[in-house]
Structure 1
């Protein structure tokens, strides 16, 4: 950061020297100096903010990893006292398996972020039946919904809806949105998944009747934890999943937006993807 600030200061000095050589008035030089200093202060403030956000993100990431590792450690200790009880061994093994899956997904997200930043994330695009994509996403979150005793309601068009995309990545987007809706919907609540043709676009919505989102946070729900503040930090959420979902939708030529009337009103995430016309059976997704 100090190197960047040195460059900014050096550049402002060069600009002021140039003004003086060109015979500008003292007032013009002073005005230019004040603008350069103001720009420097703004750049310095942004760099300090970025530094803080980076540190906060690492802290939340470490907190989330610790939260995932603690049940594994506890389960490992319990295995010492199971007395060969098959049911207890199976339950303890399930705990370890779930937590390892969460950790694996977290590291996969981190790798995806890295690949996106350096341009190495490439998509294998082909026609995909969005209903097939959604069906697979539902299967992956079904156990989460069952554990929370939540009802999933489907609102799907009768006609096929086909988009161009990569099957696994589209599934990843909707697994993220459905998991997010389940996590923020109270036990026994309802999650609604809809898919409709909307002109030349396919419109998919994931709605939950959970906590809702305060207006000030709406523009930042797809940003990492550092952009949102204490709400996600208290839950130990890094925010990587939603950020990746947004980036993946954009790579598919679409958009994803969030909407909520406020706290206690639930929230809705809407994905728009370009729809393609098919003459019959074209566009159906393969199974992977």
Structure 2
């Protein structure tokens, strides 16, 4: 107790000292009255060690001296410091000796108290520093694990009946806590059976981590998770830690998918090589047989012509296979370049139909072509675009049972030009749609019966993308047909190139009559054009301003409008835009008749919706051909 009091601050020690002295003085006064003061001073000796410990040796000596004087004053004769009696002298001497010993003992107590106080203070300071070190270490641990960005957790086993029954989350860093969609504090202490990342299998965690909690070691395994974002893969690396399990885990979905893609590509490569061998053997077999036939004596002329026809057909088939392979190689190396030109989309479609016609006819399909009323010209590689459409038509014919229906349709709007090839054939299952444009992919698994290398759609997709467009596929499912669509951006649409004068045939003496509207503020020019068109048998109306043109269209429905650009008031471009914006006239053939013929002028008319752009003076044969071609379009 004295040691503890000695460690108190000075103010508190003074309070204890004054209180102890007061108690002693009161007791002493009581004894003085009762015993006439004799030996009552001895009570002071009880406080000597305490006073010495609290205030030092000098205070003990002072208190001892006060006690001796106090005792002498109350010994006989009372009131004087003289002590004549030997017995009293002995008592005072004994008191002095004992008091000195008590002061000395108090001084030793004080030293012990000071050492104990310093030791306790040092212990407390060490405990505070140790606690701070622990906090700093935990903080650095949290910062290191959270800044790593890799999910990390610690789980602790719960043992029931001698075996691990479940695991509880003991620690999560921020990256791991985010996978729970909860605050980490809610997860900590929860069972992995009830709280875990979305899609994770609690039984798998227990099966793989429980052995590590029971012993020493480490383990690494992959976890497949089917969550809201689709299939994901995580790699977990776990190790034992004093009865618990620590584990890192990372998202390896990209790696797993890459491995799956490599395996799928390897499988397709093997299938492609087998298919290539099959496809090459098909034409080689008849070629070899024809060679044997040509060596036979007495070969008739008809048989010889038949052999030549067969050789040409089979060699052409081999050439197509090799061309596809070379095209794929050039696209892969970025060596394929397009030879773009302004070409009528109808001509491209005719080329494609010519290529696919034998296949369509051989299977007896109903073939339907739907083209817009207005002709469309695009800037494209005619050969490559026709190659894509021919491939789509051939595929539709190939994968549609005999007597089916194949439809090719063209549409256009302000955003894109849309060319679709639809059929009512075998269709495409939903899970195969995403891979239909992959290299060596087959629409039908029974590719040896259907033929083909499985590169046609991949090649077609790449060719369309080189044009700045995209190729899409859709199907309602197995045996419900499919639809492949080419989407070309609207900026590929261009004005048709001028027809060379010498290449245009003479105007036919007999032409179909068409309804034509002539709009020109030059009255003579408008009337002359009207007279010429009427001589050719057309029904012609004439107006001399843009406003009149818009007004007459409310009650007159022309098939062709010849429109001057430099009109007073409403310009020809404004009239054209209003015509295209009106449903009743949006498909009418618009022909610009203007004195402006620069490339930027043609771009402006194309943007306003004109189908043709002729500069004054107009070549009559070119104009007649444009009118006949436009109106003849289905």
Match of 1:117 among 329, 332, 350: 332
Deviation by residue 1:47-79 (Cα, 9 ceiling, x = unmatched):
444333323322222222122322322333344
Tell me, in whole angstroms, the C-alpha distance in 1 between the residues paired with 2:237 and 2:431: 38
Which structure shows the bigger proportion of residues in helix conformation? 1
Matches within 5 A, 1:84-99: 84-99=299-314
Contact map agreement 1:150 1:189 (CA 8 A) in 2: yes
Hey, what does 2:354 align to over in structure 1?
A: 139
Deviates more, 1:224-233 or 1:32-41: 32-41
The 1:136/1:36 distance shift into structure 2, 3 A limit, reads closer
Hey, what does 1:6 align to over in structure 2?
A: none
Contact map agreement 1:53 1:227 (CA 8 A) in 2: no
CA drift of 1:234 comes to 5.0
Tell me, in whole angstroms, the C-alpha distance in 1 between the residues paired with 2:360 and 2:471: 23
Tell me, in whole angstroms, the C-alpha distance in 2 between the residues paired with 1:221 and 1:37: 26
CA drift of 1:259 comes to 1.8
Structure 2 residue 446 is matched with structure 1 residue 231? yes
Deviation by residue 1:104-150 (Cα, 9 ceiling, x = unmatched):
11111111111111111111222222111101111222233233333
Which residues of structure 2 form unaligned runs of 5+?
1-142, 154-172, 174-235, 239-246, 496-609, 614-625, 627-634
Point out which structure has higher relative CO (alpha carbons under 8 A, 6+ apart). Answer: 1
The 1:50/1:73 distance shift into structure 2, 3 A limit, reads same
CA drift of 1:186 comes to 2.5
Structure 2 residue 268 is matched with structure 1 residue 53? yes
Match of 2:430 among 215, 218, 223: 215
Deviation by residue 1:9-53 (Cα, 9 ceiling, x = unmatched):
xxxxxxxxxxxxx97699799579754988766655544443333
Hey, what does 2:370 align to over in structure 1?
A: 155
Contact map agreement 1:222 1:239 (CA 8 A) in 2: no
Match of 2:407 among 192, 205, 208: 192
Structure 2 residue 484 is matched with structure 1 residue 247? no
CA drift of 1:80 comes to 4.6
The 1:200/1:163 distance shift into structure 2, 3 A limit, reads farther
CA drift of 1:174 comes to 0.9
Contact map agreement 2:279 2:451 (CA 8 A) in 1: yes
Contact map agreement 1:195 1:202 (CA 8 A) in 2: yes
Contact map agreement 2:367 2:406 (CA 8 A) in 1: yes
Q: Which has the larger radius of gyration?
A: 2
Tell me, in whole angstroms, the C-alpha distance in 2 between the residues paired with 1:51 and 1:254: 29
Contact map agreement 2:427 2:479 (CA 8 A) in 1: yes
Which residues of structure 1 form unaligned runs of 5+?
1-21
Contact map agreement 1:161 1:202 (CA 8 A) in 2: no
Hey, what does 1:176 align to over in structure 2?
A: 391
Q: Secondary structure, in 3 states, of the residue corresponding to 2:354? A: helix
CA drift of 1:249 comes to 0.8
CA drift of 1:168 comes to 0.9
The 1:281/1:86 distance shift into structure 2, 3 A limit, reads farther
Tell me, in whole angstroms, the C-alpha distance in 2 between the residues paired with 1:230 and 1:173: 22
Contact map agreement 1:161 1:196 (CA 8 A) in 2: no
Hey, what does 1:106 align to over in structure 2?
A: 321
| Number of aligned positions between the proteins | 263
Match of 1:126 among 335, 341, 346: 341
The 1:178/1:228 distance shift into structure 2, 3 A limit, reads closer
Tell me, in whole angstroms, the C-alpha distance in 2 between the residues paired with 1:82 and 1:240: 43
The 1:33/1:94 distance shift into structure 2, 3 A limit, reads farther
Contact map agreement 2:398 2:450 (CA 8 A) in 1: no
Q: Secondary structure, in 3 states, of the residue corresponding to 1:120? A: coil
Hey, what does 1:272 align to over in structure 2?
A: 487
CA drift of 1:169 comes to 0.8
Match of 2:284 among 69, 77, 83: 69
Tell me, in whole angstroms, the C-alpha distance in 2 between the residues paired with 1:150 and 1:143: 11
Hey, what does 1:11 align to over in structure 2?
A: none
Tell me, in whole angstroms, the C-alpha distance in 2 between the residues paired with 1:258 and 1:45: 23
Matches within 5 A, 1:3-42: 35=250
Deviates more, 1:81-90 or 1:173-182: 81-90
TM-score if structure 1 supplies the norm length?
0.77
The 1:127/1:87 distance shift into structure 2, 3 A limit, reads same
